[in-house]
């Protein structure tokens, strides 16, 4: 892979926003720096903090954990689609007339959750019908630059469930402020966390995939 690398990951710190009730990010030193010792730290955080991938286990107690997600889904040709300003579920009607995915991974850039801010009361999300449409067009991963593919008031997480029902992996909390629409190579690999329903990722785009 060659080309410009653009980091689309939100940094993690004690200031990173989390959902109410989720574990915020914290770091403490369990072994300090010393003349004869290497420093060691301990992390605590929700796996849904910042930029992260959801596994089927997030919704289904019998679903696969994040360690079982196929890595091939998380790496490869991806299309960034700009849909600025929407603070509600995005529908197929919001897309350009005649649009269909040009890659099996689609990332929606909405600008409705600026970096380093709290989780807003309203932000762009996805409609369940849009997830169904994307699946029918061969999409295997959908990403968005907001805290969730579901709107904050959604009961039952219908967009999450639609993605899961159609085998689409969910990538949330992206930072796409510096990314124009187009085709790129996406890398967004989760940690191999057995038994976990989600994982933070270091997500980045490489040049144009052609």
Rounded CA separation 85/105 (Å):
22
- Residue 75 parent element (H or E): strand 75-82
Which SS3 state, helix, strand or coil, does residue 133 take?
helix
- CB distance 37 to 159 below 8 Å: no
Pairing between β-strand 125-126 and β-strand 89-90 as defined by DSSP bridges: parallel
**Rounded-to-10 torsion of CA 42, 196, 116, 31:** 0
Task: Output helix, strand, coil percentages for the chain, rounded to the nearest 5.
Answer: 15, 30, 55
Tokens for 97?
A: 């007339």
- Tell me the catalytic residues: 58
């Amino acid at each position: 892979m060659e080309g410009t690398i653009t980091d689309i990951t939100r940094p993690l710190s004690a200031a990173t926003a989390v959902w109410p009730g989720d574990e915020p990010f914290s770091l403490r030193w369990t072994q300090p720096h010393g003349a004869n010792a290497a420093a060691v730290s301990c992390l605590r955080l929700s796996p849904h903090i910042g930029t992260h991938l959801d596994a089927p286990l997030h919704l289904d107690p019998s679903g696969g954990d994040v360690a079982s997600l196929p890595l091939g889904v998380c790496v490869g040709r991806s299309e960034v689609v700009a849909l600025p300003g929407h603070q509600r579920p995005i529908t197929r009607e919001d897309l350009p007339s005649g649009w269909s995915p040009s890659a099996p991974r689609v990332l929606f850039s909405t600008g409705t959750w600026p970096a380093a801010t709290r989780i807003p009361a309203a932000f762009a999300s996805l409609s369940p019908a849009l997830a169904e449409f994307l699946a029918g067009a061969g999409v295997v991963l959908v990403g968005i630059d907001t805290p969730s593919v579901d709107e904050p008031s959604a009961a039952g997480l219908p967009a999450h469930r639609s993605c899961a029902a159609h085998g689409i992996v969910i990538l949330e909390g992206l930072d796409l402020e510096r990314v124009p629409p187009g085709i790129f190579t996406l890398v967004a690999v989760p940690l191999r966390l057995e038994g976990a329903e989600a994982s933070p990722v270091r997500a980045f785009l490489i040049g144009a995939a052609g």
